[in-house]
Structure 1
Amino acid sequence: MHFFTRISAQRQKVMWELVPDERYVANPAIGSKHNRGAAVDLTLVDNDGKELEMPSAFDDFTEKAHRNYTRSNIEAKKNSLLLETVMKKRGFKSIPTEWWHFESPDWKKFPVMDVPL
């Protein structure tokens, strides 16, 4: 199960070096919503802790991860929609490029932090 709320500034720089694309990774010069403790990456699991099928793997920076991707199978679409529905009901916002990412609508209120992992 993937569940990340904070990420260190150093880790953010490494991620940016690997994927310098703001659709997927925040520019470390600005800081991410994760650096603010205002975002979470997660998936669904069954009663045995096994991850349910989703449209793509976690941190898959391709169109398969996008919320509007239409070629996923029915089960993956259903699971992704369930996750999004539950998270939005609890006040989180989603982003169009990552089915696993949810954030606080108030993320700008939180300062950028550098919390070692």
Structure 2
Amino acid sequence: MKAKFLFAILLLLAFGAWAQDYRDSLHVISASDYKKQIKLAPEKQLIEISKQVPAIQLDIRYATTNNFMHQRMYNQARAFARFPVVKALKAVEAELALLGLGLKIYDAYRPYSVTVQFYKKASDKNFVANPKKGSKHNRGCAVDLSLIDLKTGKELDMPTPFDSFSPMAAADYPNLPAQVLKNRLTLKTAMEHHGFRQLSNEWWHFDFIGWQNFELLDVPFGDL
């Protein structure tokens, strides 16, 4: 029993060292360095989305246990993104409002340390970012979202729930009801009109064009 316990500890230590090696080689920015950076480059600031786009609905799953990790990964149910990303989301929301629709956000900026935890636990690594490269969420340039009906506040029917590891989650999965296909296309069209691109295996995930211009961050929500 003692041997098993020691082995488990060694595995955890090895994983921690592995993750730290990647972190160092990637130059992940901490809270103190981030604050210095945005003084020089204000356009790189992480903005709280709901303060700039109040009509957006939030359902921050990683601040709850209703996610694939089955545990709270964030201590605050908030959503942040870089300034140009929030500006684009505001334009998307305005376009959708003409159709009586709006956005619901599940996740946006994600600290790098959370991505490390995801990769460690995920059963299917195709649905989580490898810490070796980091995530566009870590750059504040990715959003996970869906559509809602503005009158009822209810989500529209989509191919799968958020964070599903099913083949049906693919952005081009064809064997779906006509209304679901229409809803998925409506979301994709509106997002792509304003500078986002859909991830091929996750209908809900959109990356902002130009994400390469923003660094990986490991800044807790409480420091923003």
TM-score by shorter chain over 0.5 = yes
Aligned partner letter, 2:212: K
Partner of 2:132: helix, strand, or coil? coil
1:96 and 2:181 matched:
no
1:3 deviation in Å? Answer: 3.5
1:29 deviation in Å? Answer: 2.5
Larger C-alpha radius of gyration, 1 or 2?
2
> Whose relative contact order is higher, 1 or 2, with alpha carbons under 8 Å and at least 6 apart?
1
**Contact kept? 2:124, 2:165, Cα under 8 Å:** no
Partner of 1:86: helix, strand, or coil? helix
TM-score by structure 1 length?
Answer: 0.91
- Change in 2 beyond 3 A, CA 1:96/1:35: same
Structure 1 runs not aligned, ≥5 long: none
Find the partner of 2:209 among 105, 112, 116.
105
Deviates more, 1:9-18 or 1:104-113: 9-18
Misfit runs of 4+, over 4 Å: none
Q: Percent identity?
A: 40
1:100 deviation in Å? Answer: 0.6
Find the partner of 1:26 among 122, 129, 139.
129
TM-score by structure 2 length?
Answer: 0.49
Counterparts of 2:212 and 2:176, CA distance in 1: 33
Aligned to 1:67: 171
Aligned to 1:11: 114
1:79 and 2:183 matched:
yes
Aligned partner letter, 2:219: V
Counterparts of 1:92 and 1:10, CA distance in 2: 25
Counterparts of 2:171 and 2:123, CA distance in 1: 21
**Contact kept? 1:6, 1:115, Cα under 8 Å:** no
**Contact kept? 1:93, 1:104, Cα under 8 Å:** yes
Cα deviation code 1:29-88 (max 9, x no counterpart): 321000000111100001221111001110112211001211211111110000000000
Question: Between Structure 1 and Structure 2, which shows a larger proportion of helix residues?
Answer: 2
Partner of 1:42: helix, strand, or coil? strand
* Aligned positions, number: 117
- Change in 2 beyond 3 A, CA 1:91/1:110: same
**Contact kept? 2:171, 2:198, Cα under 8 Å:** no
- Change in 2 beyond 3 A, CA 1:20/1:9: farther
Aligned to 1:42: 145
Aligned partner letter, 1:78: K
**Contact kept? 1:20, 1:27, Cα under 8 Å:** no
Cα deviation code 1:76-117 (max 9, x no counterpart): 111000000000011111121011111112111110001224
